[in-house]
A and B are shown apart, each in its own frame.
Chain A
Amino acid sequence: MLRLDGVSKVYKVGTFGGKELRAVRDVTFDVKDGEVVSLIGESGSGKTTIGKMILRLLSVASGTISIDGVDISTFKGEALKEFYRKVQGVFQDPFSSFNPIFKADKMFQVLREEFYPDMEGRDWDKKVDDSLKCVGLNPDHVLHKFPHQLSGGQLQRFLISRACLLEINLLVADEIISMLDASTRIDVLNLLADLKSGGLSILFITHDLSLAYYISERAIILQRGRVVEMGSSEKVFQNPLHPYTRMLMASVPRLDKRWEGVEQQLGHGAQPSEMAGGPAGGDTPGGEPELVEAEPDHFVAIAG
């Protein structure tokens, strides 16, 4: 239902935009109906940029993003609103997602004005109640309260309830649980999984491999704006082929086994991925890598 084709994003930085920073390079992938796909990358990988481009919060430099076959960059006005009836997003910081001077449920008011202006009061109240219950919130506990009176977990669920209210098809979830406590994280994660079984597609953006493995069917590994490995979660995690993916899998702290010895990963100085102001923007020598199908539903980028 969602498809990215050769999408790139270039930022102009420096005085008067002299230099170029390629945040996203030639990314192609798709998300099918009712599927949870994880977009995995560390800071600087471009994952948030991709999320924002899908949500039309940032423009695409080249390539196309399409929903059900239609290029989303063509949407304006009413068409854009229709788009937002199908696609919504939830972000990392629940407290930053709410305007601190208004009550949390003002959000519903806005949605009503923009999307359901003609709905009757009682019908609307029921709709709000239903969408709160859909995310496991008790309307009596969370309505008419200010954001600082609710917990991070409640606020994130509040935001997810927008998805239930608008009956969307695709949710872009950008690091939505990284700022929550461990004991609430799993509940929000389970909620996403429940919504998925109701038919919702989810693009789960994260840096945390354990979360990605828990919830997604397919995984996409991003490094510096490029897709380096992609495929079913089983295959990508159990049999990582790209050196970057291998490095990630070896470094992630697990609860079932210990890291293999003290590896001499750091040479004298720093790893290439660590160098400040490293080649984030430069082109790789030797041509652009291509995604090659190593086995069914498992693609790896090989330097071309």
Chain B
Amino acid sequence: MSLQVENLRVYYQTLRGDVKALDGATFTIEDREIMGLAGESGCGKTTLGHSLIRLTAPLRYVEGRVILDGAELPIADMARMDEFRMKRISIIPQYAMNALNPTRKIGTMTQELIRSRRMEAETSPEELRRRLDLVRLPHDVLNMYPIELSGGMKQRMVMVLSTLLNPSLLIADEITSALDVATQKAVAEMLVEFRDRGIVKSMIVITHDVSILYQVADSILVMYAGQLAEKASTETIIRSPRHPYTKMLVSSLPTVGVRYAEHKLAGIPGTTPLLLDPPQGCRFRDRCPVAFRKCVEVPPFLELAKGHWVACWKEFGSHA
């Protein structure tokens, strides 16, 4: 599978004007790549994830192209996207595990879903059972109501449903946030297993928890205020980031092994800009310790080294 996103711009419509939630995203994802999409609230990661599969009001498509496996995705056209949804590209939305209809048995809901998408041919009962085995759910979960399942079980059920048709690309939006630590680990590892077994080819894992990404993602794309900041392999992002925001973000994360008394971590002073009327150029420049006059122009997202993209004027100086 291959994904190319070119200059994607999607704005959020509000009474007071357009919020420039995603302003110019260009990146690629390779076959078998699990890419983490990280950033703080308002950075645009959920907007990006949703734009790829369900671009509907209040989101508004402005410009850009998305090419999946060589075919251009008609992301602005909800009806035409139906062909691709669940089959080529699928999503596990945030809070999905809480959105299960409480009055339906899991099995009934699954059947309704299969029928509504006309997937009877591809999803035999044996296949369904095989998938349940894969996520280690007992077969009689199909006879239970959502309330009888724990958070982790519901999340795994949702994973099964979203991947029934073996989509090329799976988008997982904050699927570990509401789970306790052990379940989080199990669910995160299950994602990797899905990729390893070929059920999905590549993944975009959206989360604000960078440490989970360190455990399961091959690469990480860091976003800030609607713009892409840096994309590189996980190891590079965590150990040797180049973008000032990434550097400051990673060094502000407490992890077991770091204590205040020994090593006081620092946060990033200031606040994220409001995107109704964002600042010109690089949106991080007001909080950036190394910003200079060139930063009033939007820095392009350029490949600094193999597989390492950065959007920062400071970084290009030495490589221009």
**A interface residues, Cβ below 8 angstroms from B:** 42-43, 151, 153, 181-187, 189-190, 193, 207, 209-211, 213-215, 233, 237, 247-256, 258-259, 262, 265-271, 273-277
- CB atoms of A252 and B186 under 8 A apart: no
Beta-carbon contact of B265 and A214 below 8 Å = yes
* Alpha-carbon separation in the docked complex, A182 to B250 (Å): 9
**CB contact list, B130-157 vs A, under 8 A:** 136-138, 147-153
Residues in A with CB closer than 8 Å to B183 are 274
Q: A210-B258, A266-B136, A268-B136 given. 9 additional CB < 8 A pairs?
A: A42-B181, A151-B271, A153-B271, A182-B253, A187-B267, A187-B269, A189-B254, A262-B189, A274-B152
Task: Name which residue of chain A comes closest to B272, CB basis.
Answer: A181
| 18 residue pairs from A and B, CB less than 8 Å apart | A183-B268, A185-B254, A190-B260, A210-B254, A210-B258, A251-B181, A251-B182, A252-B181, A252-B256, A253-B215, A254-B256, A255-B214, A255-B255, A262-B193, A268-B136, A268-B138, A269-B138, A275-B150
- B residues whose Cβ falls under 8 Å from a Cβ of A: 40-41, 136-138, 147-153, 180-186, 188-189, 192-193, 208-212, 214-215, 238, 248-250, 252-260, 264-269, 271-272
B256 x A186 contact (CB < 8 A):
no
Contact of A186 among B150, B180, B265 (CB under 8 A): B265
Known: A253-B214, A274-B152. A248 touches B138 (CB 8 A): no
Using CB atoms, name the residue of chain B closest to A191: B267
Q: Is the CB of B268 within 8 A of A253?
A: no
Question: With the chains together, A262 CA to B136 CA distance in Å?
Answer: 13
B248 CB contact (under 8 Å) in A183, A209, A251: A183
B182 to A211, Cβ gap below 8 A?
no
Contact (Cβ within 8 A) B271 A249: no
A-side contacts of B271, CB under 8 Å? 151, 153
Q: Which residue of chain A lies nearest to B264 when distances are taken between CB atoms in the complex? A: A190
Instruction: Find chain B residues with CB under 8 A from A185 CB.
Output: 252, 254, 267
Expressed in whole angstroms, the Cα–Cα distance for A261 and B69 within the complex equals 31
Complex: A168 Cα to B138 Cα, angstroms = 52
| Contact of A259 with B189 in the complex, beta carbons under 8 Å | yes
C-alpha spacing A184/B266, complex, angstroms? 9
| Residues from chain B with Cβ under 8 Å of A251 in the complex | 181-182, 184-185
Q: Are B182 and A271 in contact (CB under 8 A)?
A: yes
Chain A residues near B147 (CB-CB < 8 A):
276
If A42-B181, A181-B41, A182-B253 touch, whether A274 touches B265 (CB-CB below 8 Å) is no
A13 to B238 Cα, complex, angstroms = 47
Q: Is A210 touching B211 in the complex (CB atoms < 8 A)? A: yes
Q: Is the CB of A213 within 8 A of B254?
A: yes
Which residue of chain B has its CB nearest to the CB of A275? B150
Name the 7 nearest CB pairs between A and B, nearest first: A187-B267, A183-B268, A253-B211, A42-B180, A214-B254, A181-B40, A255-B255
Whether A182 contacts B210 by the Cβ 8 Å rule is yes
Q: How many A-B contacts are there with CB distance less than 8 Å?
A: 140
Please tell me which one of the listed residues B151, B185, B193, B269 contacts residue A253 in the complex, with CB atoms under 8 A apart: B185
- CA separation between A237 and B256, bound complex, in Å? 8
B residues less than 8 Å from A181 (CB atoms): 40-41, 208, 272
B249 touches A182 (CB 8 A): yes
For residue B214, which residues in chain A have a CB less than 8 angstroms away from its CB? 253-255, 258
- Contact between chains at B212 and A274 (CB < 8 Å): no
Residues of B within 8 A of A233 (CB): 259
Within 8 Å CB of A256, what residues of B?
Answer: 255, 257
Task: Choose from B255, B264, B272 the contact partner of A210 (Cβ within 8 Å).
Answer: B255
Assess A276 versus B253: contact at CB under 8 Å? Given A253-B211, A255-B211. no
Contact B182 A184 (CB under 8 A): no
| Cross-chain contact B215 with A259 (CB below 8 angstroms) | yes
The CA of A215 and the CA of B261, in the complex, are separated in Å by 8
| Known contacts A255-B238, A276-B147; A182 and B252 CB within 8 A of each other | yes
User: Closest CB-CB distance, B292 to chain A, in whole Å?
Assistant: 22
User: Among B151, B182, B254, which residue has its beta carbon within 8 angstroms of that of A265?
Assistant: B182
Contact between A265 and B186 (Cβ–Cβ < 8 Å)?
Answer: yes
Q: Is the CB of B193 within 8 A of A186?
A: no
A176 to nearest B CB, angstroms?
Answer: 14
Q: Which of A184, A251, A258, A270 has the most CB of B within 10 A?
A: A270
Q: Are A276 and B150 in contact (CB under 8 A)?
A: yes
A-side contacts of B193, CB under 8 Å:
262
- In the bound complex, CA of A154 to CA of B213 (Å): 28
Residue of A nearest to B250 (CB): A255
User: Judging by beta carbons under 8 Å apart, are A193 and B260 in contact?
Assistant: yes
- Residues of A within 8 Å of B181, CB to CB, are 42, 207, 209, 248, 251-252
Partner of A274, one of B153, B185, B192, B264: B153
* A182 and B40 within 8 A (CB): yes
Q: How far is the CB of A178 from chain B (nearest CB, A)?
A: 10
List of B residues within 8 angstroms of A151 by Cβ: 271
Instruction: Quote the shortest CB–CB distance from A273 to chain B (angstroms).
Output: 7
Q: Complex: how many Å from CA A46 to CA B185?
A: 22
B180 contact set on A, CB distance < 8 A? 42-43, 207, 273
CB within 8 Å for A211 and B185 given contacts A255-B238, A276-B149: no
